[in-house]
Amino acid sequence: MANADLILIQGSNMAECHPVGFQWVTEAKQRGAKVIHVDPRFTRTSAVADKHITIRAGSDIVLLGALINHMIENDLWFKDYVTHYTNAAHIISEGFAGPEDLDGLFSGYDDELQGYNNETWQYEEDPDAADGIAKDMTLQHPRSVFQILRRHYSRYTPEAVEDMAGISQKDFKYLADAFAENSTRDRTTCIAYALGWTQHSMGAQFIRTSAVLQLLMGNMGRPGGGIMALRGHATIQGSTDIPTLFNLLPGYLPFPVAGKHDTLQDYFDESFPQDQKGFWHNGDAYMISLLKAWFGDAATAENDYAYHYLPRLTGAHGTYQTLMRMFDKGVDGYFVLGQNPAVGSANGRMQRMGMANLKWMVVRDFQQIETATWWRDGPEIQSGELKTEEIDTEVFFMPAANHTEKAGTFTQTQRLVQWRHQAVTPPGDARSELEFFHDLGKRLRERLQDSTDPRDRPLLDMTWDYPVDEHGEPDAEAVMKEINGFYTTGPDAGKPLDNFNQMKTDGSTAGGCWIYAGVYAGGVNRAALRVPGDKQDEMAQKWAWAWPANRRILYNRASADLDGKPWSERKKLVWWDEDATKWVGHDTPDFPIDRAPNAKSEKGVFGPDALSGDDPFIMQTDGKGWLFAPMGMKDGPLPTHYEPAESPVSNTMYPQQESPSRLLITAEGNQLAPASGNPGSEVYPHVFTTYRLTEHHTAGGMSRFLPYLSELQPEMFCEVSEELAEEYGLESYGWATIISPRGAIEARVLVTQRMKPVRAGGKTIHQIGLPYHWGVGKEALITGDGANDLLGMTLDPNVFIQSAKAVACAIQPGRRPRGEALVEFVNEYRERAGITEMTGQSRLTYERDPETMEIAEPPTLSEPEHHEGDKLV
Amino acid sequence: MSRFSMLGWPVFRQTKSKDKYGRGPSVESPKYENMRPRTEDADDVVQSVCPYCAVGCGQRIYVKDNEVIHIEGDPDSPISRGRLCPKGAASEQLVNTPSRQKTVLYRAPRATDWEEIELEKAMDMIADRFLEARENHWEDYDEEGTPVNRTMGIASLGGATIDNEENYLIKKLFSAAGAVQIENQARI
């Protein structure tokens, strides 16, 4: 980031949420960079930025789409980069139609699928091309990605930005000019985002829009460019790489799905097609190495490396789907590990009510967090919805060891794997997760040791013999060695792998997470490398280890031009050394090291060998950065603006209000407010957006129990504009009650000029800021109502993350009712709005012809309604 | 209190001792002379990483008699260059705050309060319940008759605050047991 010339921070309050990381933004500024902050709130990030632009929460695709349009129409895009390094020249199949043609939908929408079939989004074939894909290098073909992109974003104009995002045309011009000036051969722009982009029902598409923009402007794979995901937990990156996530196996290998991946061959055919380019071609070696790491000698060529030992998915089994299963008594036991869903997950009331349906749960933490005490102190005990004496759930609180009391690695937000040495041993009964689960596994195996049931074979056959110290703590380095991978046979048996290219399909290698291969190369714990920063260059390659292969900037071949020369001296990173005939530079080149820049792939060659010299995006099946995504996105190949669920604004971009493929959970307790234009929408006329504070961490388990942090930030509050405060008579330090269809919470009022109403869709929209760190209980030093109790569960269909940043609400002065009266209060609002379980649950805004997907009775798009100063009835 | 004396006047002291910026002898005292950093008594200093957000700031943990006595930023780290935010700077309290729960607690069905139980006993109870829940909701086939070999009776949530090696064992153990509902904060 320090090398950027423009930093656009959008969907993040980096200065407050990642204060120490923000020093690199400051550093960039000192080197002359410009910083622009786009956010619904004015924060400390805005205060030190060159400019803050207030945006209406949830309208990010309109703004970014307008930047794309501006760059194309004014010929400001990076031509050499786009023509050769992206799929701009690729031609899309004849059957493709976009929102311009289909009133807001892409071709392939199927209401029964609750989303899209992507058959028509594919590339047109060209049997003469080496890679089989039809292209037009002039980018003029009407079905070329570039022309489709141009048409798709043509309606994303500065006027649309003003109307939908509430941003003036002057501010838009400032942003567009800065972006264009700082995206050239000599200059690069970096985009940083955080939960302000992910926590939307179209979060993945927000990020895709920024990727399209960065590719179009040639900012990917270059120093000071790229897209920075600012993540909020010490190893939230690591827990995605080595996933405690249902849909993945380590290293982003898909978790097998019944009916699709029934045999190992099915799994390979579907996941790693062998007639395509790139490193996923070798997915079979990564998968077989994983199975060898898990099941050792029981995984043989004859039994397909025990592939049948893995359970199968039959749909989404994410945390919110699991919650719904709890209500059906479909889940007996629940482990909660260093997380506080009673406060931190969407729809807090349903989270707690769900736990009351469990037979047992295990909470592993440092303190008695609200997830451990809801049965005694939770809000539903106070409201009378639950009675302690009637809750059957058994709860085990198992004290956990903290970061000083165990050794191991965290992977931070730039993929850097950092080792922590153990400083002390844990106190009392406290144990690490490593010891707890190793011990639990041993106990399960002891109980099953005489079993002849085939279903117990995976547990009995898995490799589980990790060396332990005198306290019973397994050796984390031994686990790391297994993750890194090692040879299983031959003269090198037991020797750690140096990199993932050494992984084989014949069972001669094992490796628990292919992208981490190399972290233990040569038997050296590279995550523990600690050459001080001031004793090495800016890339700091001798401080810890970044996956993959200690690369610090991904796809860095794109930092050089077609001939392999840096785009400019100023932005030099890796380049082709003619004499040595290999790629060299300041970073580990992210490209086959000896593949010349002018190398051309040949027909009939696949995998990494098929990468041409101008295919920098080596994980993609065509080696190109995808402006248009023929696959991988469930809700469309190009990001398209739809309104968030229950938005008070009508979508004037298309006659389709909300994303037709958003994931809905229809249930009592998860009702939605009526969207704009529907009766009852005026009952919840405002929008709240949740956020974090510097002094607290997520749901407070690691901060509200600490005296210093509790004193610094003691009480739940809401941020409101002076205009909204005047409308409702809200006073600073007084109380306000915020109401959604899911619940009502109270908060201290902070009236501030940092919040400004925005004009959008012809209405004045008031945005309310709510930190979400507080929860109701008796154990924390500070307690308060939880903002997440207001959230519903409407999910992004790609990643199943809930919408938390643009949610409908009402506000009134004073404290909320107590006891049973609170339930009645929330119901009364719902009744007034006429809400049923089915409100907001139809995916299509208008009825359509099932064949053509055309709107049966086209609506007359009326002028936006004007509700100046909406008030509660 | 002693009587006012011109000789004790700070400006006089500063001028007399030629201490131009007031950071030398004119502001020293016996108390100051005898002050020692608490880190001086540490038996050991180990390099670590802050457990809060994903910036990954370097920490130095000062240890005496198997207790953490101080945590500060690691100036060697090229990421953080010695800095910590309020949370990182407060992380000594994460270790030592008196409210930390160090014993196993158990809440029986319908009970109104916790009881303390032995760690060994709790582990056995959890292992028994794990196998029972696994059995109760075991599925050999899906509705189409395709093998699924899984249990829906056990779920897990958490992983973003614990180590890679720990996540690895959790994923391996649950997958081998047939449990698929494994999730963490990255979904939220």
At residue A865, the pLDDT reads 44
Residue A657 pLDDT greater than 60, yes or no: yes
d(CA A106, CA A401): 50
A217 near B CB under 8 A: no
A246: closest CA of chain B, how far (Å):
5
Residue A858 pLDDT greater than 80, yes or no: no
At a CB cut-off of 8 Å and minimum separation 6, what does B54 contact?
A18, A230, A231, A232, A233, A234, A235, A236, A237, A412, A413
Which residues are paired to A6 by β-bridges? A34, A189
At residue B188, the pLDDT reads 86
User: Which of the residues A23, A195, A230, A239 would you substitute to probe the B interface, choosing the one with the greatest number of B C-beta atoms within 10 Å?
Assistant: A239
CA A719 vs CA A723, A768, A771: distances in Å? 12, 6, 9
Q: Which of A381, A361, A380 is nearest to A371 (CA)?
A: A361
Let me know if residue B44 belongs to a domain.
yes
Q: Which helix (H) or strand (E) holds B179?
A: strand B179-183
Q: Which of A61, A32, A369 is nearest to A205 (CA)?
A: A61
Set of chain A residues whose Cβ sits within 8 Å of the Cβ of B113: 376
User: Is A402 close to B51, i.e. CB distance below 8 A?
Assistant: yes
Q: Which of A673, A864, A857, A630 is nearest to A762 (CA)?
A: A864
- Compare CB distances from A332 to B63, B137, B142 and report the shortest one's residue: B137
- Compare CB distances from A337 to B88, B144, B159 and report the shortest one's residue: B159
User: Is A396 close to B49, i.e. CB distance below 8 A?
Assistant: no
Q: Which of A67, A42, A75 is nearest to A750 (CA)?
A: A42
Query: What residues 94-133 of chain B have any CB closer than 8 A to a CB of chain A?
Result: 94-95, 97, 99-114, 119, 122-133
Q: Which helix (H) or strand (E) holds A807?
A: strand A807-813
Pairing of strands B58-64, B44-49: antiparallel
Let me know if residue B32 belongs to a domain.
no
Closest chain A residue by Cα to residue B121: A396
Let me know if residue A826 belongs to a domain.
yes
Mean pLDDT to the nearest integer, A176-190 = 98
Q: String of b and e for A316-353 (b: at least 16 CB within 10 Å)?
A: ebbbbbbbbbbbeebbbbbbbbbbbbbbbbbbbbbbbb
At residue A864, the pLDDT reads 42
User: Is A483 close to B165, i.e. CB distance below 8 A?
Assistant: yes
CA B52 vs CA A125, A235, A492, B85: distances in Å? 49, 9, 40, 10
A396 near B CB under 8 A: yes
User: Is B47 close to A366, i.e. CB distance below 8 A?
Assistant: no
User: Are residues B110 and B183 both part of a single domain?
Assistant: yes
CA atoms within 13 A on the CB side of A51: 20
At residue A367, the pLDDT reads 98
Which residues span the domain enclosing A737? 663-832
B87 near A CB under 8 A: yes
**Residue range A224-272, pLDDT digits in tens:** 999 999 999 999 999 999 999 999 999 999 999 999 999 999 999 999 9
User: Is B53 close to A234, i.e. CB distance below 8 A?
Assistant: yes
At residue A863, the pLDDT reads 46
Residue A5 pLDDT greater than 60, yes or no: yes
d(CA B108, CA A145): 61
d(CA A870, CA A854): 34
CA A587 vs CA A225, A341, A414, A542, A727: distances in Å? 15, 40, 14, 11, 56
User: Is B68 close to A404, i.e. CB distance below 8 A?
Assistant: yes
A704 token code pair: 């509200």
Contact A68, A149 (CB under 8 A): yes
Closest chain A residue by Cα to residue B49: A420
At residue A178, the pLDDT reads 98
Let me know if residue B4 belongs to a domain.
no
Query: What residues 608-667 of chain A have any CB closer than 8 A to a CB of chain B?
Result: none
At residue B42, the pLDDT reads 94
- Compare CB distances from B133 to A18, A359, A365 and report the shortest one's residue: A359
Mean pLDDT to the nearest integer, A435-463 = 98
Which value, to the nearest 10 degrees, does the dihedral of the CA atoms of residues A379, A384, A388, A390 take? Answer: -140
Closest chain A residue by Cα to residue B158: A337
- ∠ CA A86-A88-A90, nearest 5°, is 105
Residue A320 pLDDT greater than 60, yes or no: yes
Query: What residues 68-127 of chain A have any CB closer than 8 A to a CB of chain B?
Result: none
At A402, the pLDDT band (50, 70, 90 cuts) reads very high
Let me know if residue A667 belongs to a domain.
yes
Let me know if residue B5 belongs to a domain.
no
d(CA A570, CA A574): 12
Q: Which of A30, A21, A39, A36 is nearest to A3 (CA)?
A: A30
What secondary structure letter does DSSP report for A150? H
Let me know if residue B28 belongs to a domain.
no
d(CA A402, CA A420): 11
CA A156 vs CA A52, A60, B160: distances in Å? 21, 11, 37
**Residue range B42-59, pLDDT digits in tens:** 999 999 999 999 999 999
Least confident of A218-222, A637-641, A839-843: A839-843
Question: Helix axis angle, A348-355 relative to A370-377, nearest 10°?
Answer: 80
User: Is B171 close to A406, i.e. CB distance below 8 A?
Assistant: no
Residue A862 pLDDT greater than 60, yes or no: no
d(CA A517, CA A484): 4
CA atoms within 13 A on the CB side of A680: 18
Total count of domains within chain A: 1
User: Is B181 close to A416, i.e. CB distance below 8 A?
Assistant: no
CATH (domain of A781): 2.40.40.20
Residue A494 pLDDT greater than 60, yes or no: yes
**Residue range B10-31, pLDDT digits in tens:** 888 888 888 888 888 888 888 8
Let me know if residue B26 belongs to a domain.
no
- Compare CB distances from B54 to A232, A294, A390 and report the shortest one's residue: A232
User: Is A244 close to B88, i.e. CB distance below 8 A?
Assistant: no
Let me know if residue B30 belongs to a domain.
no
Instruction: Please report, rounded to a whole number, the percentage of residues in chain B having pLDDT higher than 70.
Output: 98
User: Are residues B113 and B176 both part of a single domain?
Assistant: yes
Set of chain A residues whose Cβ sits within 8 Å of the Cβ of B56: 234, 410, 412-414, 416, 418
Contact A207, A541 (CB under 8 A): no
B41: closest CA of chain A, how far (Å):
15
User: Is B142 close to A258, i.e. CB distance below 8 A?
Assistant: yes
Contact A107, A122 (CB under 8 A): no
Q: Which helix (H) or strand (E) holds A749?
A: strand A743-751
B59: closest CA of chain A, how far (Å):
9
* Chain centroid offset of residue A503 CA: 29
- Mean of per-residue pLDDT scores for chain A: 96
- Compare CB distances from A413 to B54, B108, B155 and report the shortest one's residue: B54
Let me know if residue A734 belongs to a domain.
yes
User: Are residues B110 and B168 both part of a single domain?
Assistant: yes
Q: What are phi and psi of B35, to 5 degrees?
A: -70, 140
**Residue range A32-54, pLDDT digits in tens:** 999 999 999 999 999 999 999 99
Which residues are paired to A735 by β-bridges? A748
Contact A385, A353 (CB under 8 A): yes
Set of chain A residues whose Cβ sits within 8 Å of the Cβ of B46: 421-423
d(CA A243, CA A568): 39
Total count of domains within chain B: 2
Let me know if residue A389 belongs to a domain.
no
Let me know if residue A133 belongs to a domain.
no
Let me know if residue B90 belongs to a domain.
yes
Overall residue count recorded for chain B in this entry: 188
Residue A846 pLDDT greater than 50, yes or no: yes
At residue A656, the pLDDT reads 95
At residue A857, the pLDDT reads 75
B39 near A CB under 8 A: no
Q: Which helix (H) or strand (E) holds A265?
A: helix A264-271
User: Are residues B111 and B54 both part of a single domain?
Assistant: no
User: Are residues B176 and B156 both part of a single domain?
Assistant: yes
SS3 A457: helix
User: Are residues B62 and B43 both part of a single domain?
Assistant: yes
CA atoms within 13 A on the CB side of A101: 11
Mean pLDDT to the nearest integer, A548-571 = 97
Least confident of A109-113, A508-512, A752-756, B93-97: A109-113
Residue A468 pLDDT greater than 90, yes or no: yes
User: Are residues B163 and B120 both part of a single domain?
Assistant: yes
Mean pLDDT to the nearest integer, A762-767 = 95
CATH (domain of B49): 2.20.25.90
B101: closest CA of chain A, how far (Å):
5
At residue A524, the pLDDT reads 97
**Residue corresponding to tokens 């922590």:** A420
**Residue range A796-830, pLDDT digits in tens:** 999 999 999 999 999 999 999 999 999 999 999 99
A823 token code pair: 């339930």
Let me know if residue A768 belongs to a domain.
yes
**Residue range B113-142, pLDDT digits in tens:** 999 999 999 999 999 999 999 999 999 999
User: Are residues B122 and B181 both part of a single domain?
Assistant: yes
Residue B3 pLDDT greater than 70, yes or no: no
- Compare CB distances from B52 to A334, A702, A800 and report the shortest one's residue: A702
Closest chain A residue by Cα to residue B110: A389
- Compare CB distances from A533 to B61, B77, B154 and report the shortest one's residue: B77
Q: What is the ipTM of this complex?
A: 0.96
Mean pLDDT to the nearest integer, A184-193 = 98
SS3 A434: helix
A444 near B CB under 8 A: yes
User: Are residues B148 and B79 both part of a single domain?
Assistant: no
A356: closest CA of chain B, how far (Å):
10
d(CA A661, CA A106): 11
B34: closest CA of chain A, how far (Å):
27
A765: closest CA of chain B, how far (Å):
26
User: Is A367 close to B52, i.e. CB distance below 8 A?
Assistant: no
At residue A867, the pLDDT reads 41
User: How many helices (H) and strands (E) in chain B?
Assistant: 6, 8
CB atoms within 10 A of CB A206: 23
Which residues span the domain enclosing B118? 105-187
At residue B2, the pLDDT reads 57
B158 near A CB under 8 A: yes
Query: What residues 812-851 of chain A have any CB closer than 8 A to a CB of chain B?
Result: none
A751 token code pair: 């009236």
DSSP string, A331-375: --EEEEES--HHHHSSSHHHHHHHHTT-SEEEEEESS--HHHHHH
At residue A113, the pLDDT reads 86
Let me know if residue A674 belongs to a domain.
yes
| Amino acid (1-letter code) at residue A449 | Q
A768 near B CB under 8 A: no
User: Is B157 close to A402, i.e. CB distance below 8 A?
Assistant: no
**Residue range A65-121, pLDDT digits in tens:** 999 999 999 999 999 999 999 999 999 999 999 999 999 999 999 988 889 999 999
User: Is A432 close to B166, i.e. CB distance below 8 A?
Assistant: yes
Interface size, chain A vs chain B, as Cβ–Cβ contacts under 8 Å: 469
Residue A601 pLDDT greater than 60, yes or no: yes
User: Are residues B81 and B42 both part of a single domain?
Assistant: yes
User: Is A397 close to B157, i.e. CB distance below 8 A?
Assistant: no
